[in-house]
Structure 1
């Protein structure tokens, strides 16, 4: 039986749909961005993931955008009419409401996603950033600084997946073995009180993805 990265996460902590899902963005050339919620190692169902209805208003950050980007809901994704050739980013802390975990403490999740590897700057709290435009090496940044030892899962166009540990500079080298879309994901758990969805939580799961297309 195939066990996905998301499933392993769900088994290792108190089971919650929030920690068993990821948000990611796909974009081809200068076309619209497509925003998904689900488990990226598996094909996206035609009608969307069972939890897709909870993805309602991701906050999109598009390069060069001077006004909010229009979002259109499709059957299994949200389409954003971005323009230009820059990378597209988003963040969303309202997909899942906080849940009560073991010991009566409340936990929550914040999602981040990026499509493209043309920019080397970091604009999200948790972000996988290329070391150079178009590079196959990346640095995991947390609050703008490298995150040593971060565990990054790579899924290639054939849905092969493998996890890699970043070095002491937060860097990983991704084996790009063929053409198609690659997805990288990272989860970073932070203890400490904060408010999510109007509820004070004691622990926050930060989950970030990056997609790029290898020519």
Structure 2
């Protein structure tokens, strides 16, 4: 992975601002006793388009995914993660990384927003195990409330949760280099990552 390209000033912001990622993101939300994968925004969710390589896990153990539903309880004290991919219109792979819950303070996905304390409202962005500036983080909720979070001097972002809702945080980045895509697929010199963190607050 060409890590310098990812860290270059404006790279993450360009991905967030120029791709319309809010309509392109995938995120997890409770659906009764399970979790379900959605696209779009929480106040107007839609079924995701066709995806490849869909995998879900909790505490490192694989979970079954069937028709967008995960065999996982939303009330667990550990977080749930899902990854998937598709080719974008430009032929570059788009890697989707979704996480439900803010209990764990360590990242498992390649690109992930992580709370600095369990259940907290302050988050850092982890890329391949290293903290990088969050640049801009898009926030949307099931109540239709939207915000753009800008980082503090230490690169973290803080999210107020003023009312009960499902909150979805989103960030996108474009990676360049011979190992841009997962698995170091030599066919792709670039890949776009769209990562979300969703959780319920005040419910």
TM-score (norm 2): 0.78
- Structure having the higher Rg: 1
SS, match of residue 157 in structure 2: strand
The aligned counterpart of 2:3 is none
Aligned match for 2:63, one of 69, 83, 105: 69
User: Who is 2:41 aligned against?
Assistant: 40
- 1:187 and 1:125 mapped to 2: Cα distance? 12
1:98 and 1:199 in contact (8 A); partners too: no
Structure with larger RCO (C-alpha < 8 A, sep 6+): 2
Q: Are residues 82 and 69 of structure 1, via their aligned partners in 2, closer, same or farther at CA, if it must alter by over 3 Å?
A: same
Contact 2:55 2:63 in 1 (8 A): no
Contact 2:52-2:84 within 8 A present in 1 as well: no
- CA positional deviation for 1:108: 2.0
- Structure 1 unaligned residues grouped into runs of 5+: 1-7, 101-105
Q: Is it true that 1:200 corresponds to 2:193 in the alignment?
A: no
What does residue 24 of structure 2 align with?
21
Tell me if the contact between 1:141 and 1:170 (Cα under 8 Å) persists in the aligned partners: no
Preserved CA contact (<8 Å) 1:147 1:169: no
Q: Is the Cα contact below 8 Å between 2:107 and 2:114 reproduced in 1?
A: yes
1:86-105 to structure 2, matched below 5 A, reads: 86-93=78-85, 96-100=86-90
| Residue 170 to residue 143, structure 1, CA distance change in 2 (3 Å) | farther
- 5 Å matches for 1:48-197? 48=47, 52-55=48-51, 57-63=53-59, 65=61, 68-73=62-67, 78-83=68-73, 84-93=76-85, 96-100=86-90, 106-194=91-179
Count of residue pairs brought into register by the alignment: 185
Calculate the TM-score normalised by the size of structure 1.
0.74
Alpha-carbon contact 1:9-1:20 (below 8 Å) kept: no
Deviations 1:69-111 (CA, angstroms, capped at 9, x unpaired): 22221xxxx1111254310011113xx22543xxxxx522111
Structure 2: gaps of 5 or more residues? 1-13
Query: Does the 8 Å CA contact 2:123/2:156 hold for their aligned counterparts?
Result: yes
Q: Over residues 116-149 of structure 1, what are the superposed CA-to-partner deviations in whole Å (9 max), with x where a residue is unaligned? A: 0111111111001111111011111111111114
